[in-house]
Structure 1
Amino acid sequence: MPTIKEVSLLANVSKATVSRALNGHPSVKEANRKKVFDAIEELGFKPNAFAQALASNRSNSIGMLVGSLDGSFYGPLMHNVECIVREKGNHLIVTSGQESRDIEKESIEFLRSRLVDGLIIHSDQLSDTELIETVEQNDSTIILNRFIPEIGGHCVVIDNELGGYIATKHLIDMGHTEIACITGQLSKIDSRERLQGYRKALEESGLPFSDSKVIEGRYDHQGNHAVARRLLDRCPNITALFCQNDNIALAVYDIAAERELKIGVDLSIVGFDNDNHAQHIRPSLTTVDFPVPDMGIEAAKRLFTIIENKSCTEADPIKLLPRLIERHSVLSIQ
C-alpha cells in the first residue's frame, strides 16, 4: 500500500505538507493541496480513518452506549441500529456501561474521542441533567428508553408504565386479586415505571397495593431463583405474578417446578419483553411485547435526520407502545 512518504515524493512536497493537506489545514497552498491529492489519486493511497475524519469532519461512524453487550434485549437493539447505520454507509462502535455511572461517562468520552458522527445512548446510571448536558455538547445524540422533556426530540422511548399496567390488568381481568410483582433492578427507570403501571392497575380496580407482594429481581439471570423462592415463601396465597421481564419469568418457572406448582394452573404469570424463548417454554408465556427492533430502527433513523442538518429541537419524542401477547401461562378464575 502506498505511504505518505511516496505521496510526498510524487507530489514533490514534504511529508508534513501531505499530512496538513489531509487534515484540511488552511496553511496549505492550493497548488500544493492539488499536487497532494493528484498524487493520492495516482498512487491509490488511502489515508487512515482518523485523518479522513479530521479532514472532512465526518468519520462515517456512530457510537452507541448500552448497558451490556449480551442478553435478549441489547442484542436485537444493537443489531437493528447497525442495520440502519450500515444502510447509510457507516459503521457502529459499541461500548457498555456495566451498571456503573463512571464507566458510562468514560464510555461516552471514549466514543467522542473516536470522532463519531453521532451517539445513541442507553443509560441506566446518568441523571437527566447529565444526559441533557451530553446532548448540549453534541446535538447529534439520541437517548433511548428515557423521556426527558427538555430534549424530547432526542428521546426514543417505550411506554413502560403502560406495559406494567396492561400486564397487571390482564391478570385482574382473568379474575386474580392476589397478584405479586418481581421487578427488575429498581436503579433502572424502566423498572420503576413498570412498577408504577402495576400499582395503577391495582388501584384502578380497587385492589390494595402491598409492599410485601413486591420484590426486586434482576433483568439478567443473576439471583432470580432465590428471589422467587423468597416471594413464594412470603406470599403463599398469591395466584398470579407479574414478572418485569421474561428472564425473571423463566426463574419462576423453575421454582414452580421445584415446588410442584403448575404454571397456568396453580400460578399464573405474565412476563415482559416477548423474548424468543417465551413462545417455546411450556406452557408458553403470556407476555408484554417490547418493540426492541423498532426502538433500534427509529433511534438510528432520527439520529441520521439530525446529522443531515435537520434539527429535531421542536420534534416530538418517538414513543413506542407495548402490547400484550396472550399465550397459556394465565388461568381464568372468574
Structure 2
Amino acid sequence: MHLELRQLRVHYPGRPRPAVDGVSLGMKAGDIGVLIGPSGCGKTTLLRAVAGLEPAQSGEILISGQRVEGPGVHVPPERRQVGMVFQDYALFPHLDVAGNVGFGLGRGLSGAERRTRVSDVLALVGLGGTEKRMPHELSGGQQQRVALARALAPQPKLLLLDEPFSNLDVDLRERLAHEIRGILKEAKATALFVTHDQLEAFAIGDVIGVMHEGQLHQWDDAYTLYHRPATRFVADFIGHGVFAPATLKRVGTQVVVHTALGALTDGAECPLPAAFRYGQCEVLLRADDIIHDDDAPVKAEIVRKSFRGSEFLYTLRLATGETVLAHVPSHHDHKVGEWIGIRAQVDHVVTFQREGGAAAPPMASFPV
C-alpha cells in the first residue's frame, strides 16, 4: 500500500470523544481517495494527521512503506514528502504564477531546471504561458490550478487536498473535479481528498470513505457505497432513499422479503428470518428503485415534488402510511395530491435492523 493507516486515533484535550477514532484504510499508488461526511466528522483532522500537522495519540501512518507516525515516531511535515492544497489556495499575492509554483521546489535545482519544471507542471494543469500573470488576474478556477501545480511541482509521494473547491460555484466545482482527476491521473499522483459534496467525491474518487463522529464507516468505490452500504449511516448519507418496514418469511427452501410494495426477492441468498426478531427488519429503498407505472396495483399519493430538470423527485405516501421516494421523468408532471401507480424494481436488497429492535447484524445484502 502506498498510504496505510492502522487504527489511527487523534483526540484533542477537553473533547468528549476522539476527532479520529480507530481509522484504518489503504491506498495503492496512483489511487485517488476521498473522505466525505458531515461537518465535524473528523475528515479534515485525519488529513492533517497524515500531513503531520496533528499528532496522533495512537495508531500508525505509513507512506510508501515508511512509518511516519506511530509509537515513538513522528516525522515532521517537511520530511514526509507530502504536498497539500488548501481550500483558500494560499497563493502569495506578491508573486507571479511562476513564483508561486516554484516556491516549493528545493534549492538543488539550477535556474534552468526550475523554469523547466514550472513550465512542465503549468502545462499539465492547463495553464501554460501564464507564468508572468499575478494571482489577482486569475479566475477562482485558475487560482486553484496554480495551487495544484505548486503542490505537484516537487513531485510529492502523496498529495492532500482539503475541500479545494469549496470557494467555487457548484457548476464549476463538478467540472473542475473531473478535470483535476484527469490531471492527477496523468501525473500518476496518489492523492487523498476531503469534501462534503457527494458529487465531487463521485467525480474524482477511485475509492471513497464515509466518516461519522470520527469513525470510518465504509471505504469503498462509489457503486458499492450506493448499492451495498455497510451501515445504516452510510445508507442514509449517500443518495436519496428511505427505510421501509419489511418481514422475512421462509417458504420451503427460500426466503421471501415482504413489503408494502410486494415481495422484493425470493433469492436463496436472503438472510434467514432468524437474523431479525420475528423476521421483521427495514429495507433500504432508493429513489431509483421505485418505478412509476400506471398499471401497477400499488398506488401512492404525491405529497411533495422537486423539479430536477430531466426528472422530478417525488415524495410518495402509500395507503398503508409508508413514505417512499421516486425519480420520475419530468414529462410525467403530476400534481401534488394525485395518486399514481408505482412498483419496486430493486437490484440489490439491503436490510437493516429496525430501529429500537433487538440486537442483530447491522446489515445484510443480497442480489436480486
TM-score when normalising by structure 2: 0.25
* Higher percent of residues as strand: 2
| More contact order relative to length (CA 8 Å, sep ≥ 6) | 1
